[in-house]
Chains A and B, each alone.
Chain A
């Protein structure tokens, strides 16, 4: 999956990836996609949940060697 911006949260634990995601998404335009990198397994549940709360669109997650890449599409 392709992203317009990437946010590296490797090495950080809850709630920091969510805090950074919330800050970063403000810099994006509606319809753009943000990839959030994290090695905390909680991200698999937390990003979709955060999207549900904030109204952004969760596109999916990829895993490669213990690092997760979660994709969020900014909604209006």
Chain B
């Protein structure tokens, strides 16, 4: 198969459940032999922020934003019934019960299968964070033209 089929996903949301859906689709596509690109933008950047250490940003407002919204695959809230973390704790239990992987495991798996991670530089500029805020799995830092160039060649383009 010289010309692989392509698929893209825009990961706009920074919640655990939505990230699970996005990775589930990306991993499914990669397992079906597709070339998959995940474009992380806006709150979606939270999914690919590193879990350890402090994340630096400039200016009081940006510092506040990054304090209340630290991000990182392990810190993502639920989009519903988060209940200050209690809902998430319960959801994790339910997932463990059926041996379902956590977001951080799905990131590793997606990379193993060759899924490409792109971080949106506009969102990075707005929230005042640099490349060093992210996990090393991020392949490139780019904008809308990069996404569209891939989307144009893809049969499947999704927004999560």
Query: Residues of A with Cβ closer than 8 Å to B?
Result: 11-16, 18-19, 21-22, 50, 53-54
Q: List 14 A-B contacts (CB under 8 A).
A: A11-B99, A12-B99, A13-B100, A14-B24, A14-B28, A15-B24, A15-B27, A18-B32, A19-B27, A19-B28, A19-B31, A19-B113, A22-B33, A53-B33
Give chain B nearest CB distance to A43 CB in angstroms: 13
Query: Residues of B with Cβ closer than 8 Å to A?
Result: 24, 27-28, 31-34, 98-101, 109, 113
Contact of A15 with B33 in the complex, beta carbons under 8 Å = no
Docked Cα-Cα span, A18 to B32, in Å, equals: 8
Contact of B28 with A15 in the complex, beta carbons under 8 Å = yes
Docked Cα-Cα span, A12 to B8, in Å, equals: 25
Q: Which 3 pairs show the lowest CB-CB distances between chains A and B?
A: A22-B31, A53-B32, A15-B28
